[in-house]
Amino acid sequence: MPTLAIELGAATDYGSHMTAPNDLIEQARAWAAEDPDAQTRAELEALVAAAERGEETDLADRFAGTLEFGTAGLRGALGAGPNRMNRVVVTRAAAGLAAYLRDTGHRGGSVVIGFDARHNSDVFARDTAEIMTGAGFKAFVMPRTLPTPLLAFAIRELGCAAGVMVTASHNPPQDNGYKVYLGDGSQIVPPADSEIAARIAAVGPLAELPRGDAGTVVSEQIVDRYLDTVAGLAEDGPRDLSVVYTPLHGVGGTTVAQVLETAGFDAPHVVEQQEHPDPDFPTVSFPNPEEPGAMDLAMALAADTRADLVVANDPDADRCAVAVPDAHGWRMLRGDEVGALLAHHLLARGHRGTYANSIVSSSLLGKMAAAAGQPHEETLTGFKWIGRVEGLAFGYEEALGYCCDPEHVRDKDGVSALLLVCELAAQAKAEGRGLTDILDDIARVHGLHATDQLSVRFDDLADIPATMDRLRSAPPTTLGGLAVERVEDLSEGSAQLPPTDGLRYSLAEGARVIVRPSGTEPKVKCYLEVVVPVEPGPDGGGVDAARISAAGRLDAITADLRGVAFGQPSGA
């Protein structure tokens, strides 16, 4: 789905591209005059002074547009101006949300507000609370920096009309963001996003917005109820497991430690350098466990302690990463592999209901659900869609997001997923096995499903729609030596899926490629999957032979995609 630009200025067109320096300077002065934050106001005044002296600044970029709502909500770099995250932007967004709630029958209701440990998260939370109380709503503020899934839990537990989480999840340190949930505990979807955007556009001068008090701080009992609920997901069973854990400088550490202890596990070995929240994320270049190098300290600690398992959260703890030992050391499991393990675990325990995953995730989940007699659904990318699946029992997306307890948290939850992975690993260890053995079992039944990604970054954003148009008008006929048997233009929508900008190529032998623009970065992403039957060994080679064959097929498809879709040489 294309991202939705939110016009943050009512009387002044802050989103216009300005060519006359004097006009740009006047807009910057007008913004600074309205900015309640001394730091960003001074920052903007310094940029104006530099521009007046003829020095080169990034002033034009700060006023070249407005932040947009995409699949990750409102996110951007901290700083002054409408194209940055700051108190003016957040105040207008909060006022627009309040107007939407008032107009949709929630006048006088309550809104719960959470925040992580990033720069200014607590400030943005306080601004949101004051705007909500000023608009006649009850504002509940979480008692401290806490994981995003705890905010999603609190919305339903407290019976709120909406929730706001101030977080940029796994974005770089200079970013912050603003996630909006409605009363069902799920993130906003159309048409709510465009209706909120329209009300943000109608917000007048900040000085005219009524501001109330800073709301009511929620009791720590809400945290305790969440901890007990998550710990209760684990059943009686083996607990002998040596675990290494890292919260990646985020807010998950205390919550995870308490959940594991309540569920009967020994305290994990925590990566000391990454144990405490730090908005600068000093030990990683990018605070995302999927990024190369982010898990190096955790895997080194695992080698030193001879651990059985490595688990990690991203900074707001809504995602869970897993690494396991193999013949060559430690390796990260793909999100699709963790999704299959969690589904296997829940299906074995008799969890009934719909098993769902995003269209860019593996097709394996559908086969596992069918074999267990459970329904399966595919959704668009993002938990705002997965969380709304009727009768959801389990949902996941390949980007390390898992919903294991939709009755209480209708969003991805890296804490509950982490606990269930530990429970499954402990059960496997008691049988003299590991998580990779369970994955091999699944492959023997359903075939080896191997996935990969190809991402291509664009310097010129206009090249992204041009690339998608070219692939629509002249789709490939073969990829990696496999015939393209069906081409689906996802922008047309279907009875199962709303329209979204993407293409799905179904290849021979169960392979698949999905091409879509990123919702958060100037990239086109390609999601690849091949399926290789596992022939019984020794002559058939078993799972290892299937894995080697799958890797070759993925490499061949990737090479063809580089040439066909992006005009790159295969080694680029």
Condensed to tens digits (0 to 9), the pLDDT of residues 512-529 reads: 999 999 876 789 999 999
Give the mean pLDDT of 123-146.
Answer: 98
pLDDT > 60? residue 20: no
User: What DSSP element (H or E) covers 141?
Assistant: strand 138-141
User: Does pTM surpass 0.85?
Assistant: yes
Per-residue model confidence (pLDDT) at position 565: 78
Burial of 136: CB neighbours in 10 Å, binned 0-12, 13-18, 19+: middle
Per-residue model confidence (pLDDT) at position 571: 54
Query: Helix or strand or coil: residue 147?
Result: coil
pLDDT > 80? residue 52: yes
Report which of 303, 190, 294 is spatially closest to residue 248, judged by C-alpha positions: 294
Lowest mean pLDDT among 7-11, 115-119, 128-132, 371-375: 7-11
pLDDT > 50? residue 382: yes
CB 359 within 8 A of CB 504: yes
pLDDT > 90? residue 566: no
Burial of 362: CB neighbours in 10 Å, binned 0-12, 13-18, 19+: buried
How far apart, in whole angstroms, are the C-alpha atoms of residue 164 and residue 501? 27
Q: What residues does CATH 3.40.120.10 cover in the chain?
A: 4-219, 224-444
pLDDT > 80? residue 3: no
Give the mean pLDDT of 134-161.
Answer: 98
pLDDT > 80? residue 58: yes
For the question of residue 491 being annotated catalytic, the response is no
Q: What residues does CATH 3.30.310.50 cover in the chain?
A: 447-566
Share the mean pLDDT of the chain.
92
Per-residue model confidence (pLDDT) at position 539: 62
Lowest mean pLDDT among 6-15, 152-161, 207-216, 480-489: 6-15
In percent, how much of the chain has pLDDT > 90?
Answer: 84
The tokens for 318 are 């809504």
Lowest mean pLDDT among 56-70, 194-208, 257-271, 539-553: 56-70
pLDDT digits (tens, 9 = 90+) for 284-332: 989 999 999 999 999 999 999 999 999 999 999 999 999 999 888 999 9
Catalytic residue, chosen from 16, 110, 121, 169, is 169
DSSP assignment, residue 490? G
Per-residue model confidence (pLDDT) at position 568: 72
pLDDT digits (tens, 9 = 90+) for 458-513: 988 889 999 999 999 999 999 999 999 999 999 999 988 999 999 999 999 999 99
Query: Helix or strand or coil: residue 489?
Result: strand
Bridge partners for 269 per DSSP:
244
Query: Helix or strand or coil: residue 115?
Result: strand
CB 162 within 8 A of CB 111: yes
**Contacts (Cβ under 8 Å, ≥6 apart) of 160:** 109, 110, 111, 112, 140, 154, 183
Query: Helix or strand or coil: residue 353?
Result: coil
Indicate the CATH number for domain 4-219. 3.40.120.10
Give the mean pLDDT of 524-553.
Answer: 90
What is the pLDDT confidence band of residue 252, given thresholds at 50, 70 and 90? very high
CB 313 within 8 A of CB 252: yes
* Residue 255, Ramachandran bin (φ over 0: left; ψ between -120 and 50: alpha; else beta): alpha
Angle at 15 between CA 11 and CA 18, to 5 degrees: 105
How far apart, in whole angstroms, are the C-alpha atoms of residue 543 and residue 326? 14
Exposure pattern of 207-238 as b/e (b: 16+ CB <10 Å)? Answer: eebebbebbeebeeebbebbbebbbebbeeee
Spell out the CATH class of 447-566: alpha beta
What is the pLDDT confidence band of residue 9, given thresholds at 50, 70 and 90? very low
How far apart, in whole angstroms, are the C-alpha atoms of residue 64 and residue 280? 27
Lowest mean pLDDT among 79-93, 189-203, 290-304, 375-389: 189-203
What is the pLDDT confidence band of residue 16, given thresholds at 50, 70 and 90? very low
Indicate the CATH number for domain 224-444. 3.40.120.10
pLDDT > 60? residue 282: yes
pLDDT > 70? residue 224: yes
CB 360 within 8 A of CB 367: no
Crossing angle (nearest 10°) for helices 221-231 and 148-157: 100
How far apart, in whole angstroms, are the C-alpha atoms of residue 337 and residue 332? 10
CB 188 within 8 A of CB 384: yes
How far apart, in whole angstroms, are the C-alpha atoms of residue 497 and residue 483? 25
What is the pLDDT confidence band of residue 164, given thresholds at 50, 70 and 90? very high
